[in-house]
Amino acid sequence: MKLSKSEEELMNHLWSMEKAFMKDLLEAYPEPKPATTTVATLLKRIKDKGFVDYTMSGNAREYYPLVKKKDYFSKHVNSLIKNFFNDSASQFASFFTKETDLTREELEDLKAIIDNELKKK
């Protein structure tokens, strides 16, 4: 299941904190901060989608992610490769390296990652 942009932003805060109360999540936003009701609505939506749950601590809810960030983004990158690059990781890599403004150092880093993966196989 896909998250909206605002849901992803909230999940990114929760992923970085691992557990958080509503006040912690509100503090994580830059100014201008969203309304408390907006964050509450987002939390309800992402809970209904199965991305978060909470435990009660007194009257407050402490939220925690049910889905790992790596798993969420891995699924979406693989979907992107399948839908836009004919299920070809090499077409995706070619597009990525040609169409983004990578520095020589970043390209060297990518090459090192690829070389390392080749050694493992």
pLDDT at 23: 95
Q: Looking at the structure, do residues 100 and 60 belong to the same domain, yes or no?
A: no
CA 83 – CA 95 distance, rounded (Å): 14
Give the whole-number percent of the chain exceeding pLDDT 90: 68
Q: Looking at the structure, do residues 29 and 51 belong to the same domain, yes or no?
A: yes
- CATH number for the domain including 58? 1.10.10.10
pLDDT at 76: 85
Q: Which domain holds residue 99?
A: 69-120
Domain end: 49, 65, 81, which one? 65
Give every residue of the chain whose pLDDT is below 70, as ranges. none
Quote the number of domains for the chain: 2
Say if CB 42 and CB 7 are below 8 A apart.
yes
Beta partners for residue 21, in sequence order: 62
Say if CB 46 and CB 10 are below 8 A apart.
yes
Domain end: 21, 41, 65, which one? 65
pLDDT at 89: 86
pLDDT at 78: 87
Residue 79 CB neighbour total at 10 angstroms:
11
pLDDT at 55: 97
Say if CB 67 and CB 19 are below 8 A apart.
no
pLDDT at 52: 97
